[in-house]
Amino acid sequence: MAPPFALGSSLVCRLPPELLIEIFASCSDEPSDALTPVVLGQVCRHWKNVSYLSPRIWQHIYLYEHHPISVSHDQALWWIYRSNPLPFDVRIEVQTMDMILPLLSPILWQMSRLEKCVIAGTHQEEFDLTKYDFDRNRDCLVDELNILVKGVGALGLGANANSDAPDDRLHPSIFRVHGPSDGPPELSLHLAVYALPLATVMRPIPVSSLCITEFSLDVTTDVVRMLNFLRCTPYLETLHFAGWPQEGEPILPGSLFPVQLPRLRILLLRSTCSVRAILSHIDAPALEELYLEHTNVDFEIRTEPYIALQHPPEEGESDDESQDFSQSPWSDHATGMGLRALLKRSRPPLQVLHMDYADMRTKDFCWCFDRLDRLREFRIVGSDMSDRVVGMLAPYRRRWLAFGLANLKEPDDPRGSWAVRLPSLTKLEIWHCQRVSGDALVQALQERVRFTDYAAEEGRAETVQTVGIVGCSEFQFQHVQELSEILGERLRVT
């Protein structure tokens, strides 16, 4: 039997290009053959010219899990290019949620032209973007990407081993619309996967906010995989990671390299033993806010072998000379060394540091306080820091160099011989710190406020605007009275 159009090929070639385009567009709207526009263009030179010059023929993109991922990426990019400037639709057929984001990754750059996205297979969803008044001037309409990592334990056993049933309970809808009532809506993606996608199956994605949550104890943090995934998010501004207080996957020597996140402004790490590994391998020169939450653990962290291979050891690696009490010495060490590495590599303009049941050694507090010149807000909760750390908030004498000699100016010269750490600090909160004495808090804060108030009056420095001391058992009523004399309404206590 002759192939289609063969018997009347001369008649078909004489069809007006407009009618030929209508036929080709109708043929391309069939998901049975994802490459129809390419196949039609291979029939003859005339058909190739018609198909390549007609954006309408390329408006439907069909991507399948069983195709090589590189082929799917090239196909999506070619269809997007050929359909320009018209809108386009996407249909993705997968048997596992883990492949949705890799297949979507090249599409995210042109979300302003996307009209409809259909997910078929194990997960069924159809999202019509034309129903919402998105700001189409933006290339990427997705503001936030939420990834819930279930771990291989969620695969189940027996007959349900290959079922993705838990996905519908965790994230029944991938696409969610939210935003202020007085502005254009915002779009976020929510995915429940067994593991983070490998960087080798991803195209860079232009999301500005990323939240990674490990769903259960079945998930063991793979820092190398996570950092490699972050390399696919070069425009990231906010990163939240929440794990579990257990040791992660062993880190092989030479497998970790710093990831560049030039736009990252907000970083939150919660309930993970990988604080040092993450902070030590992120380059975030624009970081303004850092939140460390529930990272204290009372067991030894041993899954960072690259640390033992450092020659010579990193500065500060030795034990804390102060030998202050600590209920979490290993995580204190890891957090302090991670923060040191971040500050040394990136020199970020950090303005907010919240440590919620996250701690450091005394020597790490001192090292960081000496370098956080722009920090405006410091909040620490549940720390067993000592009076030495609180004392670092008070003014200290500094040496001046004059004619090549170190001279100490007179104590009554506030301009020359005295300085304060964290000179930009305006908000200080100390919650549930049971090792700190009330006398130390009163002495350090009284001296600091007197000094900074005087400097602020002359326009030479910032001074404290708010001090909160909550749940500190050694901070008694008489200490409140003493601090109130100088702080007044700036002091907030329980």
Q: Which residues pair with 148 in a beta bridge?
A: 192, 213
Q: Which residues contact 342 (CB under 8 A, 6 or more apart)?
A: 279, 280, 282, 284, 287, 348
3-state secondary structure of 167: helix
Of the candidates 209, 247, 200, 248, which has an alpha carbon nearest to the alpha carbon of residue 228? Answer: 200
For residue range 339-361, list pLDDT tens digits in order.
999 999 999 999 999 999 999 99
pLDDT at 157: 40
Among 4-8, 132-136, 143-147, the range of highest mean pLDDT = 143-147
- Residue type at 405 in one-letter notation: L
Do the Cβ atoms of 110 and 83 come closer than 8 Å? no
- Assign 404 a pLDDT band (cuts: 50, 70, 90): very low
Mean pLDDT of 466-492: 95
Structure tokens at 243: 């794990």
Q: Are strands 88-94 and 186-193 parallel, antiparallel or unpaired?
A: unpaired
For residue range 233-244, list pLDDT tens digits in order.
999 999 999 999
Mean pLDDT of 315-334: 89
Q: Which residues contact 35 (CB under 8 A, 6 or more apart)?
A: 75
For residue range 246-302, list pLDDT tens digits in order.
887 777 767 788 999 999 999 999 999 999 999 999 999 999 999 999 999 988 877
For residue range 436-466, list pLDDT tens digits in order.
999 999 999 999 999 999 988 887 778 999 9
pLDDT at 417: 76
pLDDT at 218: 87
Q: Which residues of 41-56 are buried (b: 16+ CB within 10 A; e: fewer)?
A: bebeeebeebbeebbe
Q: Which residues contact 428 (CB under 8 A, 6 or more apart)?
A: 377, 378, 379, 393, 445, 464, 466, 467, 468
- Assign 368 a pLDDT band (cuts: 50, 70, 90): very high
* Residue bearing the bigger pLDDT, 242 or 304: 242
Tell me what percent of the residues of the chain surpass a pLDDT of 70. Answer: 81
- The yes-or-no verdict on residue 158 having pLDDT over 50 is no
Structure tokens at 99: 């492949």
* Residue bearing the bigger pLDDT, 229 or 83: 229
For residue range 216-226, list pLDDT tens digits in order.
888 989 999 99
Q: Is 468 exposed, middle or buried (0-12, 13-18, 19+ CB in 10 A)?
A: middle
pLDDT at 161: 42
3-state secondary structure of 136: coil
- The yes-or-no verdict on residue 128 having pLDDT over 70 is yes
- Assign 23 a pLDDT band (cuts: 50, 70, 90): low
Mean pLDDT of 456-482: 92
- The yes-or-no verdict on residue 52 having pLDDT over 80 is no
Least confident span in 103-112, 123-132, 352-361, 454-463? 454-463
pLDDT at 362: 96
Do the Cβ atoms of 55 and 86 come closer than 8 Å? yes
Q: H or E element: which one contains 275?
A: helix 275-279
- Assign 310 a pLDDT band (cuts: 50, 70, 90): low
- The yes-or-no verdict on residue 409 having pLDDT over 50 is no
